[in-house]
Amino acid sequence: MTQAAMERRQVLTFLGALAAAGFVVPRVALANWDKTAFDAKTMDDALKAFGAGAPADSGDVQIIASDIAENGAVVPVQAVSKLPKTERIAILVEKNPNMLAAAFDIGPDTIPEVTARIKMGQTSNVMVLVKADGKFYATAKEIKVTLGGCGG
Amino acid sequence: MGNPMKIRASAKDGVTEIKVLMSHEMETGQRKDASGTVIPAWFINEVTAKLDGKTVMQAQWGPSISKNPYLAFKVKGGKAGDKVSVTWVDSKGDTRTDEATVT
Amino acid sequence: MKHAMKHAAFLAALLLAGPALSETKVAPSWGPGADDAAFTRMLAASFKDKGIAKIDRLTQDETQAFCSDPEAAASPAAAEKRLRIEAANLATVKWPSDGKWLGDWKEGEKIAQSGRGNTWTDKPGEPNGGNCYNCHQISPTEISYGTIGPSLLQYGALRGRDEETMKAAWAKIYNAKSANACSNMPRAGHMGILGETQIKHLMALLFDPNSPVNAQSNSAKSGPAQ
Amino acid sequence: MDRVSVGIAAFLAVSAAVATAAYAQQKDAAQEGIEAYREALQDGNPAELFELSGEELWKTPAGPKKDSLEKCDLGLGPGVVKGAYAQLPRYFADTDRVQDLESRLLTCMETLQGKDPKPYVEASFTAPPKEEMIALAAYVSGQSKDDPITVKPKHPKEQAMYDLGKRMFYYQGGPYDFACATCHGQEGTRIRLQDLPYIPGQKGAAAGWGSWPAYRVSSGQMWSMQWRLNDCFRQQRFPEPVYTSDATIALSMYMAANASGETMKTPGIKR
């Protein structure tokens, strides 16, 4: 057996063990999807899963979003980091059942500004968490979710 | 699998802006259908974007990303004619890749 | 009053039939003098029963028929008829059976918030909402309110709580056409949208001194945080 | 804060301009927030995904005749899609009817592809046959984006349709006494925080007519004009309008003709 084949076999065994342990293994292996972080039900747990502990408030982290969302199903959010060596940007919604909405790995050529659209079950603080040069920074903003339409 | 994405990429002053619309239900797993049965979670959980073959963005998503997701970001470098490719993988293991040319 | 309603119906029929009123300066293809047969044919062919919403809902009563030609209804010539329609609607008002005007404002707030009920996707038997916030500003804390109707902020505090004021508010909620023949507001009691207890709760939302509607001086602080 | 002035201002429905201090600020902040929200939605309208699938449906042979819709005459001649939606509804001699986009699509599906329109008419708006109609409507309407709305009833049947539409607009019924006009017959009002287009006026008619079909963020669904009207009647507590029935086409003619001269902004994106 070649070295490469052996390594491959070890990987397969590892995936098999995960499957046996009850993990769902998708057809395409996911490089980064962090189940612990996405399953976190409290802000502390979510931050812990990131290894963030207590991130420092930073004016260099910005969250660009309207103060009010006409509908919680689609809330446009732009997350911006002005910090050098930004590696990761995450968007968290405090009052959602699962806090973490998205995490973006920022490559060296990528400008640390990402726009996404998130769901919000109710009015809540939305937090942008940034990992830059190994340290964590954050900022938060309240977005009001209004009841719209005729309610019928 | 899945329906095509709509990818727009444009280069200006040494920066390429990439905008992607994806067709996906993004089911949270918390909704019920008319008969009261929980609709199982089903959402895109990884997105990878490449510019000229080089990975420039990797995103991990949870079910709190809106249905028919939109993602926009900017990359240093890139020029008209470069290829952009975007791949998503969802929680059922389905995947789809689409390409576009930078304008 | 029954007689007045019958009379109104007769007038409405005349209005729709047209020829007698052909001197009004409305385009003959619409309003009085219009080709009523074509319109009736279109209605019949275009709608179908769905859920609790049956096609008989298209059959108008005299108030609806009168108000479906707003220009004619608002004209000086129709002044007398407007008064007759208002009187006929006022006569339908059922006053509180125990003589008490006010219920629980907290329940009233819930009813005011809800827009549920009476559509073809609603099931029969479930309580209807009042749809109030769709058109009115009510509690200062709810920023998502409509503007088709006037603001009801400080309703009781501004108007007082004497018998006449309460009676007028009750009549307005029970049958809005009693005060204004072609008001945009539904006739909540008359049409069976809300029951007596629900109307009492809405009355409390408007009049109870503890209702947020009448809250003192917190209006300045209660706007959006930013 | 002068309470009396607030009461009067609200009564006159000009409170935004007149009312002072707190209430005015509160209203402005909420409305500014909503406007910023709508602005943020404009970039990246998922309706584009439906335009893509509609274009594919348009070009793919289907039905018993195994033909595409590419020769469909939407009013500007067979095969002309660009600009066609901005000039609908209109009278078509071959059917001797005034038709909106969706009824005309049904005609083409029947004549070119040999399809039976019945299942398309009867299916619910979330069922596959209607999904096809909606995708096609998204595609065709997108080909009139930024074009001037040009609908001027000339043919007697177009004029009759306009008049019927106007009458339908003001027709009250149901347990709530609602007509279209109840919500769309006054200028500058809103339901909750949603501005209500004033349909009898040109700008308001365009705000309504000119932005459907639209992607609805609240449901994540693409809605055609027929679906929009259907749900208006639901909320009006009316019985259900038949898909592409004359009442819906008459209302469409009333809106489109009132909006004529303004700009098509289709497909739109809405709450």
Shortest alpha-carbon distance between residue D13 and chain C (Å): 7
Where is the domain boundary, C62, C90, C118? Answer: C90
Do residue C109 and residue C208 come from a single domain?
Answer: yes
Q: What is the pLDDT of residue C201?
A: 98
Q: What number of CA atoms fall less than 13 Å from residue A10's CA on the CB side?
A: 7
Question: ω before D153 within 30° of 0 (cis)?
Answer: no
Structural domain total, chain B: 1
Q: What is the pLDDT of residue D19?
A: 36
| Beta carbons of A147 and D194 less than 8 angstroms apart | no
Q: Is the pLDDT of residue B92 over 80?
A: yes
Q: What is the pLDDT of residue C36?
A: 85
Q: What is the pLDDT of residue D194?
A: 87
In tens, the pLDDT along D37-89 reads: 999 998 899 999 999 999 999 999 999 999 999 999 999 999 999 999 999 99
Q: What is the pLDDT of residue A152?
A: 38
Q: What is the pLDDT of residue A13?
A: 38
Nearest of C159, D189, C136 to residue D181 by alpha carbon = D189
Burial of A57 (0-12, 13-18, 19+ CB in 10 A): exposed
On chain C, the residues whose CB falls within 8 A of the CB of D159 are 29
Strand A135-145 with A56-57, pairing: parallel
CA angle D62, D119, C119 (to 5 degrees): 140
| Beta carbons of B28 and B38 less than 8 angstroms apart | no
Do residue C210 and residue C109 come from a single domain?
Answer: yes
Q: What is the pLDDT of residue A51?
A: 86
Structural domain total, chain C: 2
Nearest of D108, D30, D115 to residue D70 by alpha carbon = D108
Q: Could you tell me if D18 lies within 8 Å of chain C, comparing CB atoms?
A: no
Q: What is the pLDDT of residue C128?
A: 96
Q: Do D49 and B68 touch (CB under 8 A)?
A: yes
Terminal CA-to-CA distance of chain C, rounded, Å?
54
Q: Is the pLDDT of residue C18 over 90?
A: no
Q: What is the pLDDT of residue A149?
A: 57
Task: Report, as an integer, the average pLDDT of C161-188.
Answer: 97
Do residue C86 and residue C124 come from a single domain?
Answer: no
Q: Is the pLDDT of residue C141 over 70?
A: yes
ipTM value: 0.82
C98 in a structural domain: no
Q: Which residues of D38-70 are buried (b: 16+ CB within 10 A; e: fewer)?
A: bebbeebbbbbbbbbbbbebbeeebeeeebbbe
Question: Could you confirm whether D232 is annotated as catalytic?
Answer: yes
C221 in a structural domain: no
Domain limits at C22? 2-90
Burial of C193 (0-12, 13-18, 19+ CB in 10 A): buried
| Candidate from D33, D44, D193 with C-beta closest to A66 | D33
Q: Could you tell me if B64 lies within 8 Å of chain D, comparing CB atoms?
A: no
Per-residue pLDDT band for C31 (boundaries 50, 70, 90) equals low
Q: Class assignment of domain A34-145?
A: mainly beta
C145 in a structural domain: yes
Do residue C202 and residue C159 come from a single domain?
Answer: yes
Domains with residue ranges and CATH for chain D: 3-42 (no CATH), 47-270 (1.10.760.10)
Where is the domain boundary, C61, C90, C119? Answer: C90
Domain limits at B64? 6-30+38-101
Nearest of D250, D262, D135 to residue D207 by alpha carbon = D262
Q: Do A26 and B71 touch (CB under 8 A)?
A: no
> Do chains B and A meet with 3 or more Cβ pairs nearer than 8 Å?
yes
Chains that touch D (3 or more CB pairs under 8 A): A, B, C
Q: Is the pLDDT of residue C48 over 80?
A: yes
Task: Report, as an integer, the average pLDDT of C49-58.
Answer: 97
Do residue C76 and residue C140 come from a single domain?
Answer: no
In tens, the pLDDT along B14-41 reads: 999 999 999 999 999 988 888 889 999 9
A41 C-beta neighbours (distance < 10 Å), count: 11
In whole angstroms, how far apart are CA C5 and each of C1, C186, D238? 6, 18, 24
Q: Is the pLDDT of residue D13 over 60?
A: no
Domain with residue B20: its CATH number is 2.60.40.10
Do residue C142 and residue C109 come from a single domain?
Answer: yes
Q: What is the pLDDT of residue A54?
A: 86
In whole angstroms, how far apart are CA A44 and each of A51, A134, A137, C90, C141? 10, 19, 14, 61, 31
The reply, when asked if residue D271 is annotated as ligand binding, is no
The model carries a pTM of 0.85
Task: Report, as an integer, the average pLDDT of C197-209.
Answer: 98
On chain D, the residues whose CB falls within 8 A of the CB of B68 are 46, 49, 215, 220
Q: What is the pLDDT of residue D75?
A: 98
On chain C, the residues whose CB falls within 8 A of the CB of A149 are 115
Do residue C63 and residue C112 come from a single domain?
Answer: no
Task: Report, as an integer, the average pLDDT of D218-226.
Answer: 95
The reply, when asked if residue D180 is annotated as ligand binding, is yes
Among D217, D219, D238, which would you mutate to test the A interface (most chain A Cβ atoms within 10 Å of its Cβ)?
A: D217
Looking at per-residue confidence, does D12 or C79 come out higher?
C79
On chain A, the residues whose CB falls within 8 A of the CB of B57 are 104-107, 110, 114
| Candidate from D43, D46, D53 with C-beta closest to B68 | D46
Cα radius of gyration (chain D): 20
Do residue C117 and residue C70 come from a single domain?
Answer: no
Mean pLDDT in chain D? 91
Per-residue confidence of chain A (152 residues) as pLDDT tens digits?
444 444 444 433 333 333 333 334 344 445 568 888 999 998 889 999 888 888 999 999 999 999 999 899 999 999 999 999 999 999 999 999 999 999 999 989 999 999 999 999 999 999 999 999 999 999 999 999 986 555 43
| Candidate from B60, B89, B92 with C-beta closest to A102 | B60
| Beta carbons of C24 and C81 less than 8 angstroms apart | no
What is the phi/psi pair of residue C52, to 5°? -80, -5
Torsion, Cα C24 C25 C30 C33, to 10 degrees, reads 40
Do residue C109 and residue C86 come from a single domain?
Answer: no
